[in-house]
């Protein structure tokens, strides 16, 4: 994309004035420590960070704490050839009236027992003094190809900053970074709005965050929560504003929970789980907070009762979620404790899963039959062709077999009403497949003859007429 001369000069000015801050290398080294593994060689475990050799009973792909350097890493087998870690780091800086976010990729490669790393700048976001983004620019460390962009280190690139206007470019994709924290206090203390903000402390204690979002939406809840050392909660300024009493702020939790929330640096999501569970069990909280429909789940059951009556733990939590979703779809009485609090979750889940598969098929069968009846009013013919809706699973299976296409797999979508399937055939030979037609919102979106071939001009003419006169008419 063409860059105006004025803007090119601005990018150059910024480039000339920016400096790498003094503790940058120290900061990168600190992040790099996370890019390590524990390599399991028979019964020996080797930490790639400190080279310490020890014994453990952890399995491959489990996390394990090195007894020497005390860091926790993933266990991998010594047969592993390559492994790559990537993190996006950022320096937030200011030149004249512009704020700049300098984006660096920290990349570490494990190869046959050794780790090499690169850290290189590849993108910049340029903001005005209100933190509105004015320019997103990238340098030659990003390579655009037809299949997308790659960020990779180039040995001798010339720092030629260029615009990106693609929605798919990486710079539009990333909005959270691990920020270099040591320059922020100096940068923000002259601004009366952020003088007491504590943002420099906050950034130090969380890994990824969106600093410009925090600056743009800044309010006192950030300062308040950061001072309480509830760092990950402080990342949600909109949630904690305008809430006065302690319990209101913390979703009904009393002050007694603060040490626990602080100890595990709970996120907002985890706090919501804690407020329902009222159990200081961090493994379970982390597990449940990852469930898609935790809120739905907590409306179905009482977690306290679930702990008393079932064998709920961090391992069978996902199955319990599945189980409840299934019995709800099957219209079980969701007030009956016998159903919603099974003694043995795994057993109950496996039993209901079998029944569910049968019922599910029946539900789909019925829905397709009903839909076929509804659509029969769109049946249409001339002297040569006829078109009519699929009215059963069997008819879809038959069409698939004859046409060698995948229309069978459409059954669940037809049942949900997200698409319709019609069969177009010869009036003289109605049993024999000719064209499979997919319709959405009364519009033909796909028409295929045998082996997914295209339709003829004559067939198209018939379908056009049908679509215009009957479907839309």
- Residue 48, classed as helix, strand or coil, is coil
Minimum Å gap between C-beta 122 and Zn ion is 30
How many C-beta neighbours within 10 Å does residue 377 have? 9
Number of residues that bind Zn ion (CB under 5 A): 7
- How many Å separate Cα 75 from the centre of its chain? 24
Q: Which is nearer to Zn ion, 30 or 468 (CB)?
A: 30
Closest to 205 measured CA to CA, from 183, 176, 235: 235
Query: Where does this chain touch Zn ion (CB under 5 A) — which range of 40-48, 78-86, 208-216, 359-367?
Result: 40-48
* C-alpha–C-alpha distance, residues 118 and 289, integer Å: 34
Span from 15-23, 45-53, 90-98, 152-160 in contact with Zn ion (CB under 5 A): 45-53
Of 49 and 169, which has the nearer Cβ to Zn ion? 49
What is the nearest approach in angstroms of Zn ion to the Cβ of residue 48? Answer: 8
* Sheet hosting strand 82-95, strand order edge to edge: 162-163, 133-138, 114-127, 98-111, 82-95, 177-179, 208-209
| Number of CB atoms found within 10 A of residue 369's CB | 15
**Which pair of tokens denotes residue 325?**
């979703």
Minimum Å gap between C-beta 75 and Zn ion is 13
Nearest residue to 393 (alpha-carbon basis) of 374, 377, 413, 375: 413
Does residue 47 touch Zn ion according to CB under 5 A?
Answer: yes
Closest separation in Å from C-beta 53 to Zn ion: 10
Q: How far is CA 372 from the centre of its chain?
A: 37
Binding region for Zn ion (CB under 5 A) out of 7-15, 43-51, 111-119, 418-426: 43-51
* Minimum CB–partner distance for residue 38 and Zn ion (Å): 8
Shortest distance, CB of residue 55 to Zn ion, whole angstroms?
14
Stretch that binds Zn ion, among 44-52, 190-198, 340-348, 367-375 (CB under 5 A): 44-52
State the sign of the Cα–Cα–Cα–Cα dihedral 259, 262, 264, 269: positive
Phi, psi angle pair for 454, to nearest 5° = -80, 160
How far is residue 210's CA from residue 213's CA, in Å, rounded to a whole number?
A: 5
75 sits near Zn ion (criterion: CB under 5 A): no
Q: Pick from 49, 125, 310, 321: which binds Zn ion (CB under 5 A)?
A: 49
Nearer to Zn ion, 18 or 75 (CB): 75
Kindly report the backbone phi and psi dihedral angles of residue 416, in degrees, each rounded to the nearest multiple of 5, phi listed first. Answer: -80, -10
**Scanning residues 50 to 69, which ones bind Zn ion (CB under 5 A)?**
50, 52, 66, 68-69
In the complex, the smallest distance separating the C-beta of residue 44 from Zn ion, rounded to whole angstroms, is 14
CB nearer Zn ion, residue 46 or residue 326: 46
Q: How far is the CB of 87 from Zn ion (least distance, A)?
A: 19
| Closest of 450, 424, 425 to residue 437, by C-alpha | 424
Report 194-233 residues binding Zn ion (CB under 5 A). Answer: none
Q: Is the Cβ of residue 3 or residue 50 nearer to Zn ion in the bound state?
A: 50
Q: How far is the CB of 33 from Zn ion (least distance, A)?
A: 9
If the CB atoms of residues 67 and 252 are measured against Zn ion, the closer one turns out to be 67
Q: How far is the CB of 26 from Zn ion (least distance, A)?
A: 19
133: three-class secondary structure by DSSP: strand
The torsion region of residue 107 among left (phi > 0), alpha (psi -120 to 50) and beta comes to: beta
End-to-end CA distance of the chain: 47
Residue 71 C-beta: closest distance to Zn ion, Å = 6
Task: Rank residues 74 and 309 by Cβ distance to Zn ion and give the closer one.
Answer: 74
Under the phi-then-psi rule, with left for phi > 0, alpha for psi from -120 to 50, and beta for the rest, what region is 28? alpha
Shortest distance, position 219 Cβ to Zn ion, whole Å: 41
Q: Are 335 and 302 in contact (CB under 8 A)?
A: no
Report the residue number, 92 or 110, with the smaller CB distance to Zn ion.
110
Of residues 66 and 415, the one with the C-beta less far from Zn ion? 66
Q: What are the tokens at 139?
A: 């340098």
Give the residue among 173, 7, 204 at the shortest CA–CA distance from 92: 204
Phi, psi of 278 (to 5 degrees): 50, 35
Phi-psi region of 259 (alpha: psi -120 to 50; beta: other; left: phi over 0): alpha
- Closer to Zn ion by Cβ: residue 66 or 386: 66
Query: Which residue reads 């320059």 in tokens?
Result: 183
Residue 34 three-state SS? coil
Sign of CA dihedral 274, 280, 286, 292: negative
From 47-55, 297-305, 384-392, 439-447, give the range in contact with Zn ion by CB under 5 A: 47-55
**In this chain, which stretch among 41-49, 343-351, 352-360, 368-376 interacts with Zn ion, using CB under 5 A?**
41-49
Residues 280-299 that bind Zn ion (CB under 5 A): none
Specify the residue, 49 or 197, whose C-beta has the smaller distance to Zn ion: 49
**Which is closer to Zn ion, CB of 47 or CB of 327?**
47
Residues that bind Zn ion (CB under 5 A): 47, 49-50, 52, 66, 68-69
């Amino acid at each position: 994309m063409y860059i105006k001369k004025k803007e090119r000069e601005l990018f150059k000015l910024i480039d000339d004035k920016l400096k790498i801050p003094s503790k940058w290398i120290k900061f990168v080294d600190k992040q790099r420590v996370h890019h390590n593994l524990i390599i399991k060689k028979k019964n020996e475990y080797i930490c790639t960070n400190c080279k310490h050799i020890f014994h453990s009973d952890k399995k491959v792909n489990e996390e394990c704490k090195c007894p020497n350097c005390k860091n926790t890493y993933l266990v991998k087998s010594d047969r592993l050839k390559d492994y790559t870690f990537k993190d996006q780091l950022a320096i937030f800086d200011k030149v004249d009236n512009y704020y700049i976010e300098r984006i660096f990729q920290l990349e570490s490669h494990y190869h046959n027992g050794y780790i090499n790393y690169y850290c290189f700048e590849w993108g910049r976001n340029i903001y005005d003094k209100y933190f509105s983004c004015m320019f997103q620019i990238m340098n030659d460390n990003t390579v655009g190809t037809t299949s997308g962009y790659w960020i990779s280190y180039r040995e001798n690139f010339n720092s030629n900053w260029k615009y990106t206007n693609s929605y798919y470019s990486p710079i539009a994709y990333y909005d959270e970074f691990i920020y270099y924290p040591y320059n922020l206090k100096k940068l923000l203390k002259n601004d009366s709005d952020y003088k007491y903000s504590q943002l420099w402390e906050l950034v130090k204690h969380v890994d990824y965050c969106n600093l410009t979002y925090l600056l743009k939406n800044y309010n006192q809840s950030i300062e308040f929560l950061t001072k309480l050392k509830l760092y990950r909660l402080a990342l949600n300024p909109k949630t904690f504003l305008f809430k006065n009493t302690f319990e209101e702020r913390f979703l009904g939790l009393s002050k007694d929970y603060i040490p626990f929330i602080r100890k595990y640096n709970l996120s907002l999501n985890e706090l919501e789980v804690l407020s329902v569970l009222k159990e200081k069990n961090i493994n379970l909280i982390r597990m449940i907070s990852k469930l898609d429909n935790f809120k739905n789940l907590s409306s179905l059951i009482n977690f306290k009762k679930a702990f008393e009556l079932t064998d709920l733990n961090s391992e069978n939590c996902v199955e319990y979620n599945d189980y409840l979703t299934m019995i709800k779809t099957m219209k079980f009485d969701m007030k009956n404790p016998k159903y919603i609090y099974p003694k043995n979750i795994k057993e109950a889940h496996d039993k209901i899963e079998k029944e569910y598969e049968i019922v599910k098929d029946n539900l789909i069968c019925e829905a397709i039959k009903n839909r076929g009846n509804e659509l029969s009013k769109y049946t249409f013919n001339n002297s040569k062709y006829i078109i009519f809706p699929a009215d059963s699973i069997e008819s879809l299976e038959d069409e698939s077999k004859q046409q060698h296409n995948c229309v069978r797999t459409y059954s669940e979508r037809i049942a949900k009403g997200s698409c319709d399937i019609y069969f177009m055939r010869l009036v003289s030979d109605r049993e024999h497949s000719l064209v499979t037609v997919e319709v959405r919102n009364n519009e033909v979106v796909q028409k295929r003859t045998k082996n997914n071939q295209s339709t003829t001009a004559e067939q198209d003419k018939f379908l056009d007429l049908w679509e215009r006169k009957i479907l839309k008419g």
